[in-house]
Amino acid sequence: MSKPLDYDNINENVKKCQYAVRGELYLRASELQKEGKKIIFTNVGNPHALGQKPLTFPRQVIALCQAPFLLEDPNVGLLFPADAIARAKHYIAMTSGGLGAYSDSRGLPGIRKEVAEFIQRRDGYPSDPELIFLTDGASKGVMQILNTVIRGESDGVLVPVPQYPLYSATISLLGGSLVPYYLEETANWGLDINNLHQSVAQARYKGITVRAMVIINPGNPTGQCLSVANLKEILKFCYQENLVLLGDEVYQQNVYQDERPFLSSKKVLMDMGGPISRELQLVSFHTVSKGYWGECGQRGAYFEMTNIPPKTVEEIYKVASISLSPNVPGQIFLGLMVNPLKPGDISYERFVRESKGILESLRRRAQIMTDGFNSCRNVVCNFTEGAMYSFPQIRLPPRAIEAANQAGKVPDVFYCLKLLEATGISTVPGSGFGQKEGVFHLRTTILPAEEEMPAIMESFKKFNDGFMDQYEDHTGYSRM
């Protein structure tokens, strides 16, 4: 007799969801690593895992918050600067019982206030702490909002393709329908509003009620930064179609070009004024995992709700209560991110040096990687304008596709597995993010250490040359 947790008996939605970032490639990479092979994990935006050092000041503050008895030690000044000590006291005073006590399920009121002040400084419009919830990483927030939106199979969510698979996986898990809209690779992964209209029309034809739209800005895996004009079109579109907009803005600090600085969906919405600015429902996400922080393991994030009615906010609060509270240290990291040091603070110069160093290096790495990919045979790659990824298109020769089919693999999975085995570079196949039929990509982060980057690109090029040699038919004769 088969048992409740036997594979055949479990929730089908659990089985349906796919999460390529930690899928077949990652599992194989982990195996190879166990066998002693050197693996370069570029499958996930995890900067510290690739050697990025944490910023010193926030770590000093959090260490003191975790060990508040140090504040009474006469030697504390030997190890910690005065501004870190002051800031630790500031955050401890916000808790009710230190870092070991559950906070309010929405997060500590004091930190939510600091987030609201940050948003207000950034956008030039008021922000209400009561509409800001802190979460264990942005993913948890996205999942909670989608859970509020999705009522069943006929509820659709517009998701960019290629997309970060958090969205597809969560929609599957919640039993909703993903409605894809395609980004235009030839237009630097721009968003064409006509595609959106088409996607909605097609979904409606299938009986799907489109209720929400996701944008990722800057883009993951595609790296593009949306223009103001594009954002306005999107907002209008959501308003016309009566959609709630989910603005995934976790890469807002990661911008590597100067023409289109980051602008939040909320700011653009407020700039538009009129009924849309008072009515369009918007939820925006941000985190300490990205930017020059890269504090992924701390799981600190927030979402801000705009034009969401109080009764719904209450329901979201209630559901957040079931898991009691987001982790408190992660909340404090978030506080430190949104309320950074100011000129004149003792640790200010060091903080600026560290953070500028990281961002400038990321900018250079984005360039090295794009150039590297574009110098490879059958590889074309848009410049990484923002975020942490490069998403080159690999033009796989027909014989490679055939070989992949014979091996029972999706062609880009086949390519990425071979790349992994040959070089130790652990990427994610484009099929994990979605791509147009017959077109293949891979995603890699731009996070390997700058000094290692040339060797990595060299190693990639060598592999790719060999692969193309093997599968490309220059002569008209097939080679074995």
Kindly identify the residues of this chain, within the stretch 30-69, that bind its own copies according to CB under 8 A: 30, 44, 46-52, 54, 56, 59-60, 62-64, 66-67, 69
Tell me if 447 contacts its own copies by CB under 8 A: no
Stretch that binds its own copies, among 97-105, 112-120, 368-376, 467-475 (CB under 8 A): 97-105
Which residues contact residue 18 at a Cβ distance below 8 angstroms, ignoring those fewer than 6 apart? 165, 168, 169, 172, 432
- For residues 85 and 61, the answer to whether their CB atoms sit within 8 Å is no
Site string for its own copies, 116-145 (x = CB under 8 A): --------------------xx-xx--x--
For its own copies, which is the closer residue by CB, 224 or 327? 327
Whether the CA torsion 308, 312, 316, 318 is positive or negative: it is: positive
Q: Is 105 in the site for its own copies (CB under 8 A)?
A: yes
Across 142-176, b (16+ Cβ under 10 Å) vs e yields bbbbbebbbeeeebbbbbbbbbbbbbbbbbbbbeb
CB of 281 to its own copies, least distance (A): 5
164 or 182: CB nearest its own copies: 164
Cα radius of gyration (the chain): 23
User: Of the candidates 166, 162, 115, which has an alpha carbon nearest to the alpha carbon of residue 332?
Assistant: 115
* Closer to its own copies by Cβ: residue 378 or 444: 444
Residues 189-248 contacting its own copies, CB under 8 A:
211-212, 242-244
Instruction: Report d(CA 315, CA 293) in Å as an integer.
Output: 32
Nearest residue to 21 via CA among 434, 381, 367, 448: 434
**Distance separating alpha carbons of residues 86 and 109, to the nearest angstrom:** 19
- Residue from 28, 257, 271, 297 in contact with its own copies (CB under 8 A): 297
Residues 158-187 within binding reach of its own copies (CB under 8 A): 166, 169-170, 173
Contact 135, 143 (CB under 8 A): no
Provide the minimum distance between the beta carbon of 387 and its own copies in the complex, in angstroms, as a whole number: 16
CB distance 432 to 18 below 8 Å: yes
- 250 binds its own copies, rule: CB under 8 A: no
Distance separating alpha carbons of residues 256 and 50, to the nearest angstrom: 20
The reply to whether 269 sits near its own copies by the rule CB under 8 A is no
Residue 311 touches its own copies, criterion: CB under 8 A: yes
DSSP H/E element including 200: helix 193-205
Please report how close the Cβ of residue 478 comes to its own copies at its closest, in angstroms: 38
- Label the pairing between strands 379-380 and 393-394: antiparallel
User: CB of 373: closest distance to its own copies in angstroms?
Assistant: 25
Is there binding between residue 425 and its own copies (CB under 8 A)? Answer: no
How many helices (H) does the chain have, and how many strands (E)?
A: 18, 15
Closest to 238 (Cα-Cα) out of 210, 260, 259, 273: 210
The closest alpha carbon to 244, from 273, 203, 209, 272, belongs to 209
Q: Which span sits near its own copies by CB under 8 A: 115-123, 196-204, 323-331, 357-365? A: 323-331
Which span sits near its own copies by CB under 8 A: 263-271, 291-299, 375-383, 415-423? 291-299
Q: Judge whether 156 and 203 are in contact, CB under 8 Å.
A: yes
DSSP-derived letter for residue 183 is E
What letters, b where the CB count within 10 A reaches 16 and e where it falls short, cover 6-29? Answer: eeeeeeeeeeeeeebbebbbbebb
Contact 284, 266 (CB under 8 A): yes
> Which residue lies nearer to its own copies by CB, 109 or 397?
109
Pick between residue 178 and residue 316 the one whose CB is nearest to its own copies.
316
Among 202, 240, 321, 405, binds its own copies (CB under 8 A): 321
12 is a contact residue toward its own copies (CB under 8 A): yes
Q: Is 148 a binder of its own copies (CB under 8 A)?
A: yes
Site for its own copies in 390-419 (CB under 8 A): none
Return d(Cα 51, Cα 453) in angstroms, integer: 13
One residue of 31, 37, 79, 479 binding its own copies per CB under 8 A: 79
With binding defined as CB under 8 A, does residue 73 bind its own copies?
yes
- Asked if residue 272 binds its own copies (CB under 8 A), the reply is no
One of 83, 85, 94, 95 touching its own copies (CB under 8 A): 95
Size of the site for its own copies (CB under 8 A): 102
Note whether 93 binds its own copies by CB under 8 A: no
Among the residue ranges 90-98, 193-201, 252-260, 453-461, the one whose residues contact its own copies (CB under 8 A): 90-98
Assess 324 for contact with its own copies (CB under 8 A).
yes
- CA-to-CA distance for 361 and 355, rounded, in angstroms? 10
Question: Is 359 a binder of its own copies (CB under 8 A)?
Answer: no
With respect to its own copies, which residue has the nearer C-beta, 209 or 470?
Answer: 209
Q: Which of 81, 329, 397, 424 is in the footprint of its own copies by CB under 8 A?
A: 329
Q: How many residues does the chain have?
A: 480
| Residue 222 or 281 having the CB closest to its own copies | 281
CB closer to its own copies, 28 vs 399: 28
